[in-house]
């Protein structure tokens, strides 16, 4: 399954009602049940994509227009359009290339969100474009909403959990640490431990940062991927 468009995945048109989305999801999910599915793709991977597409589209259908999906350090949530400019670019994907499986990954972020991720020439592992280099969420022929969906899906389905949301400063710091390992200036084991420790602290700090404009509608508004 290479399609990452949530509407295409569920087989519904944009603007479909909540009931139409629910009906489509029930039909699709039955087809990947272990007792029924006989395809070559990983049924669990297909199920994960269907569930995520269902949750995003149902949330959109059941809430007023003018809200968009926004990634956070450990998941995401819906924000109002007027909040978008202030929040946009707050946290950014960074790939721990030491853990990345590269071209052997069956759930490649490069396939899911090729406008943001690509194989690095020096490591042959996935690398996210830096915040300064990225030109906008509408690149690659994707609309902003669909592009964000693809990025969230790429992060959520990573089998090694090696994609992390960080600030631009943290992104630069982690990139420098990784480059030290690549250049042979830092031993692999020592550098890998340092990166993991930095990621853990960054995640803790970012999750504590106040986001006063966020107004969750109910418990569970923001989704933890794992």
Q: CB count, 10 Å around CB of 67?
A: 17
Does 167 lie in the same domain as 120?
yes
What is the extent of the structural domain holding 203? 86-208
Mean pLDDT across 40-58: 77
Mean pLDDT across 12-41: 81
Does 204 lie in the same domain as 94?
yes
How does pLDDT run across 88-98, given as a tens digit for each residue? 447 889 999 99
Read off the pTM.
0.57
User: Which tokens go with 98?
Assistant: 């030491």
Does 180 lie in the same domain as 138?
yes
Strands 223-224 and 117-119: unpaired
Least confident of 21-30, 117-126, 129-138, 194-203: 129-138
Asked, for residue 77, whether it belongs to a domain, the answer is no
Residues in the chain: 226
Does 130 lie in the same domain as 33?
no
CATH code assigned at 35 = 1.10.287.110
Does 113 lie in the same domain as 177?
yes
More confident residue, 101 or 203: 101
How does pLDDT run across 138-189, given as a tens digit for each residue? 555 556 777 788 888 898 889 999 999 999 899 999 999 999 999 999 999 9
Rounded-to-integer distance, Cα 106 and Cα 2, Å: 11
CATH code assigned at 198 = 3.30.70.20
Does 18 lie in the same domain as 117?
no
């Amino acid at each position: 399954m290479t399609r990452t468009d949530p509407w295409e995945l569920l087989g519904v048109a944009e603007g479909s009602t909540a009931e139409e989305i629910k009906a489509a999801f029930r039909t699709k999910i039955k087809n990947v049940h272990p007792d029924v599915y006989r395809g070559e793709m990983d049924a669990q991977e297909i199920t994960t994509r269907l569930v995520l597409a269902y949750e995003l589209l149902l949330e959109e259908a059941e809430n007023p227009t003018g809200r968009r999906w926004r990634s956070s350090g450990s998941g995401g949530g819906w924000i109002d359009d007027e909040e978008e400019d202030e929040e946009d670019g707050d946290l950014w994907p960074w790939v721990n290339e030491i853990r990345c499986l590269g071209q052997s990954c069956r759930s490649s972020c490069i396939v899911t969100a090729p406008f943001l991720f690509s194989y690095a020439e020096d490591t042959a592992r996935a690398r996210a474009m830096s915040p300064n280099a990225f030109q906008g969420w509408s690149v690659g022929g994707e609309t902003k909403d669909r592009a964000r969906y693809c990025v969230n899906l790429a992060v959520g389905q990573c089998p090694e959990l090696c994609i992390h949301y960080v600030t631009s400063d943290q992104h630069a710091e982690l990139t420098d640490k990784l480059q030290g390992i690549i250049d042979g200036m830092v031993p692999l084991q020592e550098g890998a431990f340092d990166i993991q420790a930095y990621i853990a602290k960054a995640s803790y700090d970012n999750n504590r940062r106040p986001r006063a404009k966020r107004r969750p509608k109910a418990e569970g508004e923001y989704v933890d991927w794992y």
